[in-house]
């Protein structure tokens, strides 16, 4: 794929390959891993704007960032423009360059609360939320799906509303809410969204190879791609897409991720994070299935490291 910079006001993305926000996964260490692999921008897990008023430990952990993160981008979830504006302008997001508004989450509890993909059916409220977040003075992006139902797409109409409300960039997941994470992306709907606006559009959904990315850009005319769940099992995808050479085995990545996570999180969190990440990485490594159960049963980081060394230690570098 053609690699190019994307200019968004005061922020310039070094390339057009982004890492998607993923609840429960895109903590600070994982974002730094994807940045190292070549991702031009990496988003935090979705953070509830309503919950930010409590400024508790959980929210601070979700929004942990440092100056080593090249571009700091947080994703906000909410349905009240006033609360979204307060969060966007608040202390916890002060260090962030970009705010991404979640208008695509399909999970039932989010949808039923009128947030995430439910906003696809409420354009006036969605528009008010974007305008409210723009008052923060930050770059504002919107991630959304093509519609609630596959047979009732709204991608073009929604994209145009986002641009008119002041959004600087759009990320379009080429599936409807009813499709969840299954089935091929609807290229035509992403193309219609791209054709409706003049701001940059990233295409998301079903990309697990350079060939997939090439097809996505050819079919949609999008300005770049966003990689989601596949990056958990193969973070090297960012290196392949951006033409980088990364000579590190999965075991080395896990060792480095453990060390980085221990600088900022307590041991129980690090254990849970490394277990989860290693389980995903095992999907791409032959002969590691027998280690999965043991990984979730081990009781210390030292024991976990021994298991990971046994599972990945003989792997050649990527």
pLDDT for 93-108, tens place per residue?
999 999 999 999 999 9
Confidence of residue 25 (pLDDT cuts 50, 70, 90): very high
Partners of residue 158 on adjacent β-strands: none
Q: In whole angstroms, how far apart are CA 177 and each of 174, 229, 246, 308?
A: 10, 16, 36, 37
Sequence-separated (6 or more) residues with CB below 8 Å from residue 245: 239
Tokens representing 138 are: 């930050």
pLDDT at 59 over 90: no
CA torsion angle for 239, 65, 225, 117 (degrees, to 10)? Answer: 150
Which of the two residues, 54 and 198, has the higher pLDDT score? 198
On the 0-12 / 13-18 / 19+ scale of CB atoms within 10 A, 66 is: exposed
Asked whether the beta carbons of 127 and 167 are under 8 A apart, the reply is no
Residue intervals in the chain for CATH 3.20.20.70: 6-242
Residue 292: exposure state from Cβ atoms within 10 A (0-12, 13-18, ≥19): middle
Q: pLDDT by residue (tens digit) across 13-23? A: 999 999 999 99
Give the pLDDT confidence score for residue 317 in this predicted structure: 56
Residue 207: DSSP 8-state? -
The C-alpha atoms of residue 131 and residue 111 are separated, in whole angstroms, by: 21
How high does pLDDT run on average in the chain?
95
pLDDT value, residue 288: 83
Domain 6-242 annotated CATH 3.20.190.10: no
Q: Which one is catalytic: 34, 105, 133, 162?
A: 105
pLDDT tens for each residue of 183-218: 999 999 999 999 999 999 999 999 999 999 999 999
Strand-strand pairing, 98-103 and 17-19: unpaired
The yes-or-no answer on residue 162 being catalytic is no
* pTM summary value: 0.95
Residue 316 has pLDDT above 60, yes or no: no
Contact 14, 214 (CB under 8 A): no
List the beta bridge partners of residue 170: 142, 201
């Amino acid at each position: 794929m053609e690699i190019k910079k994307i200019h968004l006001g005061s922020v310039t993305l070094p390339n057009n390959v982004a890492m998607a926000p993923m609840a429960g996964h895109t903590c600070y260490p994982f974002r730094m891993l994807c940045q190292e692999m070549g991702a031009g921008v990496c988003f935090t897990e979705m953070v509830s704007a309503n919950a930010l008023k409590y400024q508790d430990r959980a929210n601070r952990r979700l929004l942990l960032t440092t100056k080593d993160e090249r571009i700091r981008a947080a994703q906000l979830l909410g349905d009240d423009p006033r609360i979204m504006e307060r969060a966007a302008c608040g202390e916890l997001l002060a260090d962030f360059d970009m705010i991404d508004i979640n208008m695509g989450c399909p999970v039932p509890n989010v949808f039923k609360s009128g947030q995430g993909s439910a906003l696809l059916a409420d354009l006036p409220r969605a528009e008010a939320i974007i305008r409210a977040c723009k008052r923060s003075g930050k770059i504002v992006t919107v991630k959304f799906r093509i519609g609630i139902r596959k047979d009732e797409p709204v991608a073009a109409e929604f994209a145009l509303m986002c641009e008119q409300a002041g959004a600087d960039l759009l990320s379009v997941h080429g599936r409807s809410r009813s499709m969840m994470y299954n089935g091929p992306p609807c290229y035509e709907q992403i193309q219609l969204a791209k054709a409706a606006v003049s701001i940059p559009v990233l295409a998301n959904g079903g990309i697990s190879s350079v060939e997939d990315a090439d097809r996505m850009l050819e079919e949609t005319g999008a300005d770049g791609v966003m990689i989601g769940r596949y990056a958990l099992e193969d973070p090297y995808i960012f290196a392949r897409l951006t033409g980088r050479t990364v000579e590190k085995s999965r075991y080395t990545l896990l060792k480095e991720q453990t060390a980085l996570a221990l600088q900022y999180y307590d041991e129980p969190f690090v254990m849970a994070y490394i277990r989860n990440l290693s389980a995903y990485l095992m999907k791409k490594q032959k002969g590691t299935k027998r280690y999965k159960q043991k990984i979730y049963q081990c009781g210390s980081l030292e024991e976990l490291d021994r298991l990971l060394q046994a599972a990945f230690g003989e792997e050649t570098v990527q």
